[in-house]
Structures are given as C-alpha cells and as structure tokens.
Amino acid sequence: MSFISDIYAYLFYFATLVLLGGLALKILQYARTPAPLKIPTTPAPTTKTGVALRMTREVVLFESLFRGNKWTWIFSWMFHFGLLLVTLRHLRYFIDPVPVPIQMIQPFGIYGGMAMVVGLAGLWARRFFVDRVRYISSRSDHLILALLVAIGASGLMMRFVLHTDIIRVKEFFAGLYNLQVVTLPADPVLLLHLLLVALLMIIFPYSKLLHAPGLFFSPTRNQVDNPRERRHIAPWAKRLEQE
Amino acid sequence: MAKANFEVPALKEYAEIPEINPGVMAHSKPYKSKPEFQEALGFPGELVEDWQKQAINKMGDLLGRYRSLRVYLDSCVKCGACTDKCHYYLGTHDPKNMPVGRQDLLRKVYRRYFTLAGRLFPDLVGATDLTEEVLGDWYNYFHQCSQCRRCSVFCPYGIDTAEISMAAREIMDHIGIGQKYCNEIIGKVYKIGNNLGLPGPALADTLEGLEEDVFDETGVEVKYPVDQEGADILLVTPSADFFAEPHVDGLIGYGKVFHEAGVSWTLSSYASEAANFGMFIGSYDNMRRVALRIREAAIKLGVKRIVFGECGHAWRVAYSFLNTLAGPWDFLDPRYPVPQHICEFTYDLIQQGKLKIDKSQNDDMVLTYHDSCNVARASRMGDKPGGQFDIPRAIIRRVCNNFYDMDEETIRDRTFCCGGGGGLLTDDLMEVRVKGAQPRVEALNHVIQEKGVTHMAAICAICKSQFTKVLPYYGMDMDQIVSVHQLVSNALVLTGQESDDSDDAPSGEPENAAA
Ligand code: SF4
Ligand code: SF4
C-alpha cells in the first residue's frame, strides 16, 4: 500500500500548495485592483462598523440571498452551515491533542454532514427544475455539485457503513507535517473521499468557488457610504488630475 | 392607447415570474453612433480592424482598473437569485435579460481569455471566443440594461450588473461601436453645455418666460436667474427641466423654494446640465470631463453651495462621484454638503417651519411615489442610510393630503426601474422600454385599483420622460406622472401671494381632508 500512500502524500502536498498559493495570488490581485468609485448598494452603512456588521450578516446569514430567493437560501445555508460543522469535526484528524470544543462538536458534525448533502441535493434539483436556473447552469456547475455530493456521501458512508481505521488516517496526516509518509488504510471509500477532497482543493482558486474570498472584496457590500465627506480617488485616476 | 408594433405586456393582478423565452429580444438594438460623435468623445469612429484583439486588451485594462469587474466576473455561483429581479427579464422573458444571463455574455469571454479553466476547458466552464456573434449579443443586450442595480440588491455577493454593462459599453466604444443616443448627447454637453443642445440665449428666454408665468399666477416676483455671479447657490438641473412637462413644473418649484428661503441662486449656461451620460457608457474620462464643467462654473460664478435638481443618475454622479471626479470642493461653504439635493434643501426648510403650505392645493390628486433606481440604490439624502427613501416621502406627505405607497416589494431599494434609464431613453429602443416598464406599471396599477391613486410623483428626469411616453401604452395618461417639486410648487404659499379665493385662506397646517 505504500505506493498509493506515496501518491496521496504528494497529492495532498500539491493540493495544499495550489489551494493556498492560488488563493493568495487571487486575494493579492483583488486587493491590488483599485476600486475607483464609491459604488455601495444603498441603503449602505455610513461607518466602518456598519460595514463590518453588514458583511457579517452577509457571511453568517446570507442576508441578500434571503431577500433574493428563499429556497436557494434554505438549501445553501444548510449546505454551508453543514460544511462548517463537518470541517470543525474533521479538525480532530489534523490536530493533536484535540481541543475540547472540537471534541464536543463531534456528534453535530455528523448532522452537519447530512445537512450538507440535503442542501446540495436541493440546490442541484433547482438546476433541473427551475427553467431559469437550468438556463444559466454550465457543465462545471453540475460537476462541482456532483463533487461536493460525492465528498459528503463518501464521508457519511465511512461513518455509517464501511468504517475506516481513523487512527491510521490521523497518523497519515500527522506524518505529512513531518514529511513522512505513513501508510494509509487501503480502504476504497476512504481513498475516494480523499481524492475528491484533494480535487476540490485544487479547483478552488480556479473556479466559481472564488465567491468565498470574492464576497469580502465586493465594493457594493464592503464600501462605506461617505463620498460627500471623503474623496475616493484611485491611483490611476489621480494621474488624470496631474495632466 | 399608443400604437405599438410589438405586443404590450398585459398587467396582471399578481406579479408573475415568466418562463424563459430565449432570443425574443435578440432583434432589439439601438442605432450605432456615427463617427463624428464617436471621435468627439475620444473613441474610434467605426469598428477597428483588429477589433477582437483590441477588445480583449481593453477588457484586460479594465480588469486592472476596476475591482468590481474583476471580483464580479469571478464570483458568480449561478445561484439564480437574480434571475427574476430584472424588469427587462420580467417584461420580455428573454433569459439574456436575466442579470446573470447578461453578465455571462461578458463572463464567457473573460473566462476564455483571462482564466486558466477557460483556457484549458472552455466547454466545461462555458467559455467562448470573442466572435462576431458574441459582439452582436453584447451590443444588443448591454443596451437592454438600464444599470438600475436591482440585481445587486439580491445577489449574495452584491454582483452589480450595471458595472458589467458599463464595462462592456466601454469596451465597445473603444473598438468603435458606440450607441448613438448617449454619445451624441455627451457631445452636445461638450459643445453647448447640455443634453438638449439648448444654447445660452434660449435658456435665458425660457427662464424669463417662467418668471412671467409665476408672476401672473401668484403676483410674486420669483426670479429664475442664469449666470449670476456671486450668487450663493449654483443650481444644476437636468435640461429637461427647461422646457418639457412635467419637468418644468419642478423647476418652477425649486425657484419658489429658493425664493422663500431668501437665498440667492443661479443656473449656469456653461454647466446647464445635471445629467452625466458618461456614466452610462462606463467612461471615467467622459464622466470626469462632464463633471469638471460644474467645477468650472462654480468657480467662475463664485458660488458657495451647489444644489442638484430632480434627476436620478445625475444625483448618483453628484452624490457618489462628484467629489472624487471634480473635487476637492474646499472653496465652497463647508457648512453644507457638496452637493446637496433639492429635496434635502426643501426638507430642511420644511423642518425649520419656513415654508407656508396649503396641502389642499393638491387635493385633485391621489399620489404614489416612484423611487428612482439611481437615487434609491446608488445614493443617499440627509445623513442617515435610507434618507433617499424617507426625505422625498416626507416632502410629499407635507404638501399633499392623499398619499399611498405601492407594494412594499416594489419600492425603496427594491424599486422597479421605469425602464428608460441607463441610456435607453431613445425611440429606437421603444419596445424594450415599454416591456421593461411592465413591473413598475403593474405595481402602479394596483394602487390605482385599490387606493384610487391618480398620479405618481418622481424625482428623476428620465423616469418622468419615460413614463410620459410609456404609460399611454398601458392605457394610462401621460400626465399621471408628476414632479415632486411640482407638488411643492402647487402647495407652497409664497410670502405676499394673493390667494385665489379669500374665504379659503391658506393656513400653515390645514386639517387632513382625507385619510
Ligand atoms: S442593472 Fe437593472 S437593468 Fe441591468 S441587469 Fe440588473 S436589474 Fe436588469
Ligand atoms: S445572484 Fe449573484 S451569484 Fe447568483 S446568479 Fe445572480 S449574479 Fe450570480
């Protein structure tokens, strides 16, 4: 099995590199691109604290989506909140010793996994049944949903059907920190699960998953509404003034 | 009912989300700008030879200049929350008029040339080359967007299709295909000073005429000055205010309010236009050039304050961009915001109890209020968020007895566009204008049926012009749209004004005649 373990070790190094590197580059690019005009969608907060609150409501509650479409809101909130619980639950495979809050969250992580899959199924169904959403869906939109569903389903399978040797999985990842390849359990469902996760990490910075950092850079949401009080001039626009 | 060579949508009792009907509006496009108009704005006269390459280059340039464009092209998850939010989709059923459908016209080219996934797997992620067909779609559908930003309210990432439309129009202008209506108008501003091409003497004549009218009606000498050096306030207002109904009634109102406030004010024949079509074509340069005229006029006339008249996108450019484009304004009186909206000005006077008002003068009307997109979703009034919704309503309630809001889902930041904004107010786009007005007219029809509303007030020249033209298609009257300051003008009792009938002497606080 060590051949496969080697491959997975390299795969995860590569995936981590692509994910972190790609995201860092994207974030840098967003941060460096000037926003030459104030374009918050009003009524917008007039203070930075107000903007922080608006942003928090968007990130935690999906406020705009709630106003936009209740079904999409329910399903995507289920999915994202489920994903959050699952991620927190998974931390125990990567951290030693496991902090108490993470220990306590373990059972909820399972419900999170289920919520995640149900939410995804709902979102996917909309892509077939709502003609407007069907029209805008490209193949990659379906594939990303398929990928996420497969990750969720294979994860749940290991919990309920084919248990895997979780101690050894944990040892494998602990080994990666020390640049050592510890053998992974030769468990097809586990290998599939890990493969798909690595794939998700790799496509993250090159796909619409960029909506995650994108939200924080969205001028319509993150700008303070104070253009009469403050000039807001981008470097390239400043140059026009010197001409 | 006006004649139409297309089907005018039926008004329904409940708003319906239509099924998609791909391609129904593929034939709709505005006249192309002639070379002379293009060149006046610094754009090539006609489609350049290597247009593909230049368009991609321009896109790259804009991606580096506008964070909005970059982030919005990357972030859309195709959730569909915006699909039923555009009035042009609701009225036409064409899926390319769904905000995300419209964005995708640009996004698929962006993906192809600027993203790894689109370079490697174009079919998978819906990326395409910039072909003649795509360019045709750009021209048609980016001129079926009024840049009203309704989509951005509901998108989980605030993706603003207006930003995308502006970028697309800017790219097209740079390869030589501009829209006649916008570009010709901007040229007129440079040459003559306003959108309508009204020269200074004609302007002075019109204003003199207004003074006479107001005097005949009230017996009070209200002044409508132009180019008066040393005045306190420079009023910048859309040129529609100088001649057409109902706009001019608004202008009469501003003059009366200034008169009662006892301030000196003036218009400028050089900057005789509040509208700034540079925004519609997404051109920072042109927007700046137009805005700078106001600065020059303010300096030359030596005013202390700047007040804007009733115009939606002009107010957006003024409120959000004027300081950035043409500031700093440190030579003006720091006690007042720069610029101020005429509604803010009037509202302040009302608050201070300085206006004598006879509400009953508007008793022949039952009113509703149309929030104009650019005011509602892209600007503010007063110092609190949402002042742009509350202040005009507070004014209307103060000057008339009968007011009802339209359905909550269709007002304030969820307001429906009149259908004529964003450079679409041109006869060659009549079909999309009429169809795009449907959601607004439907909501209006509700309050007409249920509350007996007779008139709709607005504070945007484009809205007013659009409704004047479009309401008849739906069997309504063109004069059902009125200006907010027209209502103010009707109700305002000028100091020293002779009242029409002495036994009904106007009082400051008449009783509520109707609920
Ligand atoms: S900005 Fe307005 S007109 Fe343009 S796509 Fe969005 S909703 Fe439609
Ligand atoms: S609401 Fe925003 S993210 Fe959703 S489809 Fe529309 S533009 Fe894309």
Nearest by CB to B126, which of A41, A50, A138?
Answer: A138
Give the 3-state secondary structure of chain A.
CHHHHHHHHHHHHHHHHHHHHHHHHHHHHHHHCCCCCCCCCCCCCCCHHHHHHHHHHHHHHCHHHHHHCHHHHHHHHHHHHHHHHHHHHHHHHCCCCCCHHHHHHHHHHHHHHHHHHHHHHHHHHHHHHCHHHHHHCCHHHHHHHHHHHHHHHHHHHHHHCCCCCHHHHHHHHHHHHCCCCCCCCCCHHHHHHHHHHHHHHHHHHHCHHHHHHHHHHCHHHHCCCCCCCCCCCCHHHHHHHHC
Q: Rounded mean pLDDT of B164-182?
A: 98
Sign of CA dihedral B280, B286, B288, B294: negative
- Any residues with Cβ below 6 Å from ligand 2, and which? B 76-82, 99-100, 155-157, 159
Residue B433 has pLDDT above 70, yes or no: yes
Distance from B82 to chain A by nearest Cα, in Å? 7
Nearest by CB to A237, which of B22, B284, B339?
Answer: B284
Q: A99 — contact with chain B (CB < 8 Å)?
A: no
Reading phi first (left if > 0) and then psi (alpha if -120 to 50, else beta), residue B340 is in beta
B contact test, residue of A39, A53, A58 with most B CBs within 10 A:
A39
Q: Exposed/middle/buried for B512, CB within 10 Å: 0-12, 13-18, 19+? A: exposed
Q: Which of residues 261-290 of B touch A (CB under 8 A)?
A: 284-285, 288
| Rounded Cα distance, B127 and B117, in Å | 9
Nearest by CB to B19, which of A62, A72, A131?
Answer: A131
Q: Rounded mean pLDDT of B323-350?
A: 97
The mean pLDDT value of chain B amounts to 94
DSSP B398: H
Q: How confident is the model at residue B2 (pLDDT cuts 50, 70, 90)?
A: low
Q: B377 — contact with chain A (CB < 8 Å)?
A: yes
Contact between chains at A43 and B158 (C-beta distance less than 8 A): no
Q: Which of residues 427-486 of B touch A (CB under 8 A)?
A: none
Contact between chains at A218 and B153 (C-beta distance less than 8 A): no
Q: B80-109: per-residue pLDDT in tens?
A: 999 999 999 999 999 999 999 999 999 999
b/e burial code for range B363-387 (CB count within 10 A of at least 16 → b) = bebbbbbbbbbbbbbbbbbbeebbb
Q: Which residues of B touch A43 (CB under 8 A)?
A: 380, 385-386, 388-389, 413
Q: Which residues of B touch A60 (CB under 8 A)?
A: none
Contact between chains at B324 and A231 (C-beta distance less than 8 A): yes
Taking every pair of C-alpha atoms in chain A, what is the biggest distance, in angstroms? 71
Contact between chains at B80 and A133 (C-beta distance less than 8 A): yes
pLDDT for position A197? 98
User: At B498, is the secondary structure helix, strand, or coil?
Assistant: coil
- Any residues with Cβ below 6 Å from ligand 1, and which? B 85-86, 88, 99, 102, 145-151, 161-162, 165, 417
Taking CA atoms, B500 is separated from B256, B505, B507, in Å, by: 17, 9, 13
Atom of ligand 2 nearest to the CA of B77: 3
Residue B501 has pLDDT above 70, yes or no: no
Find the closest chain B residue to A36 by CA distance.
B66
Nearest by CB to A36, which of B65, B83, B125?
Answer: B65
Q: Which two tokens stand for residue A92?
A: 């125990």
Distance from B320 to chain A by nearest Cα, in Å? 5
Q: B88 — contact with chain A (CB < 8 Å)?
A: no
Q: Which two tokens stand for residue B157?
A: 């990432």
pLDDT for position B5? 85
One-letter amino acid identity for A148?
L
One-letter amino acid identity for B128?
T
Q: Which ligand is nearest to the CA of A127?
A: 2
Q: Which two tokens stand for residue A199?
A: 């794939």
| Rounded Cα distance, B280 and B313, in Å | 9
Place of tokens 């399903």: A75
Taking CA atoms, A37 is separated from A104, A171, B47, B279, B319, in Å, by: 47, 52, 29, 11, 11
| Rounded Cα distance, B26 and B29, in Å | 8
Q: Which residue has the higher pLDDT, B501 or B490?
A: B490
C-beta separation of B357 from B442 below 8 A? no
pLDDT for position B513? 40
User: What is the torsion angle, in degrees rounded to the nearest 10, for the CA atoms of residue A211, residue A213, residue A216 and residue A221?
Assistant: -10
Q: A130 — contact with chain B (CB < 8 Å)?
A: yes
Atom of ligand 2 nearest to the CA of B75: 3
| Helical axes A70-90 vs A100-129, angle rounded to 10° | 150
Distance from B104 to chain A by nearest Cα, in Å? 8
Q: Which of residues 114-153 of B touch A (CB under 8 A)?
A: 115-117, 121, 123-126, 149, 152-153
Reading phi first (left if > 0) and then psi (alpha if -120 to 50, else beta), residue A5 is in alpha
Strands B233-236 and B367-369, by their bridges, are: unpaired
DSSP B8: P
pLDDT for position B13? 85
Closest of B103, B84, B82 to residue B93, by C-alpha: B84
Chain CA centroid to CA B481, Å:
15
Q: B384 — contact with chain A (CB < 8 Å)?
A: yes
| Rounded Cα distance, B187 and B286, in Å | 10
Q: Rounded mean pLDDT of B231-243?
A: 95
Nearest by CB to B324, which of A45, A67, A232?
Answer: A232
Q: Which two tokens stand for residue B29?
A: 């496009």
Q: Which two tokens stand for residue B254?
A: 């501003």
| pLDDT < 70 positions in chain A | 1
Q: Rounded mean pLDDT of B423-451?
A: 97
Give the 3-state secondary structure of B218-259.
HCCCCCCCECCCCCCEEEECCHHHHCCCCHHHHHHHHHHHHH
Q: How confident is the model at residue B500 (pLDDT cuts 50, 70, 90)?
A: low
Q: A80 — contact with chain B (CB < 8 Å)?
A: no
B456: which strand partners?
Answer: B368, B481
Q: How far is the CA of B85 from the centre of ligand 1 (A)?
A: 8
